[in-house]
Amino acid sequence: MFSHSVLLLTLVLLNSRLLISAATVVTCDGFVQHLSCDTGVISVQSATYGRTSSQICSFGRPQSQISNTWCSINVPVIYKRCDGLRTCGLNTQGLSTPDPCFGTYKYYTTNYICIPAETSVTCHGGYGYLKCKNGKIQINAANYGRTDKITCSHGRPSEQLQNTNCYSPNALSFVSKSCNGLENCEVYATHMIFTDPCFGTYKYLAISYFCLPHGIRDLVCEHKTSALTCGHGTVIHIHSANYGRTDSSTCSTGRPPAQLAKTDCYSLNSHTTVASRCEGKRSCSILASNSVFSDPCFGTFKYLYISYSCVSKCKCYCT
């Protein structure tokens, strides 16, 4: 079997009528991995490359290529390419380097959830309009570039559509700074604002975002502990979280400029880590430190930002 996906868990949150599905996709090395969401957008929770079972992707392989089951490394490029998209196809040939176990036939294991989010796609030269009728904008993912050959392709020559591995490094940071916390936001899709990641390719600006209800915000500086609490009969629901730095003023007292200069610092596991400790609980605490989260920007003094609300206890049905 070359590639298969397994639906692990579906949660129906009755109080918000929100459907969140979780799935695991296993893809043998050299084949195409497909992630998709019927509703919402992809949020990769973990992505690894290696071998932890002698049975998976073993058909026709000699014993010497499947006996090492202590082989696994993280693949952050899968987060980068798939987060915020409704569908994502990845050719795994040469996707991960270095080789974690030479001589072993490996496979990719990606765990992801489909989260409810608004989406906006704007072709180069146009304006993207983000709007929340109730609540405020929180950017989930943003890219100025090209990840497929179909989007914004009408009337364009083929050579301008071929590069589908095109990502602007400053898109998420710029859109987040421009739009987070607002009810309406306008963003110009142009290389004059975003770094041009692939000269000669016709690009577009793709954004996914949440409309956060007017909830509670909590922020603590690095090495401090964030304590979240809800009243009787309610539990914590995490909207967003980031361990890193997105401005130069927060948690800056007594810090040298070199520790405050990087303002596009996002830890990819922030939301997953906070939600795993706090979601559905009346209270929780979490330390803002590199030992809890990955260090997204070495040498930068970071802080932990959490947006959450207190909701009525909900029933969850698992299938």
User: Strands 136-146, 204-212: parallel, antiparallel or unpaired by DSSP?
Assistant: antiparallel
When divided into structural domains, the chain yields a total of: 3
User: Is position 318 within any domain?
Assistant: no
pLDDT tens digits along 207-220: 998 887 767 788 99
pLDDT grade for 127, boundaries at 50, 70 and 90? very high
Give the whole-angstrom CA distance, residue 161 versus residue 194.
19
Per-residue confidence (pLDDT) for residue 314, from 0 to 100 = 53
Per-residue confidence (pLDDT) for residue 21, from 0 to 100 = 61
Using alpha carbons only, give the angle 306, 308, 312 rounded to the nearest 5 degrees: 160
Q: Which helix (H) or strand (E) holds 112?
A: strand 107-115
How far is C-alpha 75 from the chain's CA centre?
Answer: 13
pLDDT tens digits along 218-249: 899 999 999 999 988 899 988 888 899 888 88
User: Is position 264 within any domain?
Assistant: yes
Does residue 123 sit in the same domain as residue 168? Answer: yes
pLDDT tens digits along 29-73: 999 999 998 878 888 888 999 999 999 999 999 999 999 999 999
DSSP 228-254: EE--TTEEEEEEEEEEEESSSSTT-TT
Give the torsion sign (CA, 287, 288, 294, 295): negative
Does residue 151 sit in the same domain as residue 221? Answer: no
Does residue 84 sit in the same domain as residue 27? Answer: yes
Give the whole-angstrom CA distance, residue 38 versus residue 96.
27
User: Which of residues 82, 99, 115 is at a domain's end?
Assistant: 115
User: Strands 184-188, 225-229: parallel, antiparallel or unpaired by DSSP?
Assistant: unpaired
pLDDT grade for 160, boundaries at 50, 70 and 90? very high
pLDDT grade for 15, boundaries at 50, 70 and 90? very low
pLDDT grade for 153, boundaries at 50, 70 and 90? very high
Structure letter (DSSP) for residue 135: S
pLDDT grade for 11, boundaries at 50, 70 and 90? very low
Label residues 183-216 b or e (16+ Cβ within 10 Å = b).
eebebebbeebbeebbeebbbbbbbbbbbbeebe
Range of the domain at 300: 216-312
CATH number at residue 83: 2.60.120.740
Q: Average pLDDT of 276-283? A: 93
Give the torsion sign (CA, 157, 163, 164, 169): negative
Does residue 161 sit in the same domain as residue 75? Answer: no
Looking at the predicted structure, is the pLDDT value of residue 12 above 70? no
Does residue 229 sit in the same domain as residue 131? Answer: no
pTM above 0.85, yes or no: no
User: Which of residues 180, 212, 244 is at a domain's end?
Assistant: 212
User: Which of residues 182, 212, 242 is at a domain's end?
Assistant: 212
